[in-house]
Amino acid sequence: MKRILNLFLYELKYAFRGIRKHLVLSFSAISSMAVSVFLIGCFLLIGIHVDHFAANVQQDMQIHVVLDSNLTSQDEIDSMEKKIKKIDNVETVIFSSKDDELELMIREKGEAFSQYRGQENPLSHAFFVVVKESSMIEETAAEIETLEGVDSTAFGGSSVTELIHLMDVVRKAGYVLSALLLILSLYLIYNTIRTTIYSRQDEINIMRTVGATDSFIRTPFEVQGILIGLLGALIPFLLVYFGYPILYERMNGVLFASLFSLIDSSTIRYIVGFGMLGCGLFVGFFASFFAVRKTIKAKR
């Protein structure tokens, strides 16, 4: 155990020594890593919220199916419900009586319509239809409208489907940009580790002469890459970990409207915050891993 601890301390010491010896290059890599990880964190934050917003929008997306006014008996209503349920994209069908429809209209358009309560109610019975795939809501509404006994359908129009499509484009663009930033970070750390190896070539040759194994020589450089990755991810991690709860509190957990509710702080801290640290660790390790194996192998 003591031997393993001494070996770890040795590798850590030489990793810091490599960073200190090439301070400008290491600082450049750490700074670039910090900017890249922060932007990746922002894109991840946007992507997670876009998924959350889209789920909220899709959950609220229903087709309002208004029945013909002469469809009044319970048997006719049950028969219509069965027909709608047979359509492929339909998940749930919820009945709304004409009295329910009137109360909904009063809530949305004002008390002036309350005069139609009772026998004066001119509205028809209706259904609220929840779909499985929101992207096909327009086609589903058109299919329901062809059924005999259906007067009209409404689902919010093409603007709703366009909103969901826009959210999907934003999410995909964020993931693509995150991947490009990861590649850039890998390249920067790769160059930093390779430069450090070149500058310590004489030291490496002496270590080989006295019998040091390749793994013993490689490990300090790999640890150096991991440290650069973690140091670069530390500041963005702290910004998200402590900054997002403040933003959440100031916005009362809502962006624009309740449909666009923000995700709670504890979830973001762990998903995005620790995801950023994991990203720094991943980039630092693999960049140094490839740089060390390629450069040391070439210099044998």
pLDDT value for 105: 79
Alpha carbons 113 and 32: distance in angstroms, whole number: 62
Tens digits of per-residue pLDDT, 257-279?
666 678 888 888 888 888 888 88
Q: To 5 degrees, how large is the angle CA 197–CA 203–CA 209?
A: 120
In this structure, the answer to whether residues 289 and 190 fall within a common structural domain is yes
**For the chain, how many structural domains are there in total?**
2
In this structure, the answer to whether residues 44 and 172 fall within a common structural domain is yes
pLDDT value for 7: 57
Alpha carbons 66 and 125: distance in angstroms, whole number: 6
pLDDT value for 53: 75
Instruction: For residue 184, name the pLDDT band (cuts at 50, 70, 90).
Output: confident
H or E stretch including 63? strand 62-67
pLDDT value for 104: 81
What sign for the dihedral angle of Cα 184, 188, 189, 190?
positive
In this structure, the answer to whether residues 222 and 76 fall within a common structural domain is no
Q: To 5 degrees, how large is the angle CA 142–CA 145–CA 150?
A: 165
pLDDT value for 22: 65
In this structure, the answer to whether residues 167 and 142 fall within a common structural domain is no
pLDDT value for 207: 67
In this structure, the answer to whether residues 132 and 168 fall within a common structural domain is no
Residue 81 CB neighbours (<10 A): 16
In this structure, the answer to whether residues 234 and 262 fall within a common structural domain is yes
Tens digits of per-residue pLDDT, 140-156?
888 998 898 888 888 76
Domain harbouring 93, CATH code:
3.30.70.3040
In this structure, the answer to whether residues 266 and 169 fall within a common structural domain is yes
Backbone angles phi, psi at 67, to 5 degrees: -90, 160
pLDDT value for 165: 72
Tens digits of per-residue pLDDT, 83-99?
999 998 888 888 988 88
In this structure, the answer to whether residues 270 and 234 fall within a common structural domain is yes
How much is the pTM?
A: 0.60
Choose one of 104, 133, 154: the last residue of a domain.
154
Residues spanned by the domain of 135 = 63-154
Strands 254-255 and 126-131: unpaired
pLDDT value for 257: 60
Q: How far apart are the first and last CA of the chain?
A: 32
In this structure, the answer to whether residues 288 and 262 fall within a common structural domain is yes
Side chain identity at residue 144, one-letter code = I
In this structure, the answer to whether residues 251 and 209 fall within a common structural domain is yes
Mean per-residue pLDDT over the chain, rounded? 77
Strands 62-67 and 90-96: unpaired
Instruction: For residue 161, name the pLDDT band (cuts at 50, 70, 90).
Output: low
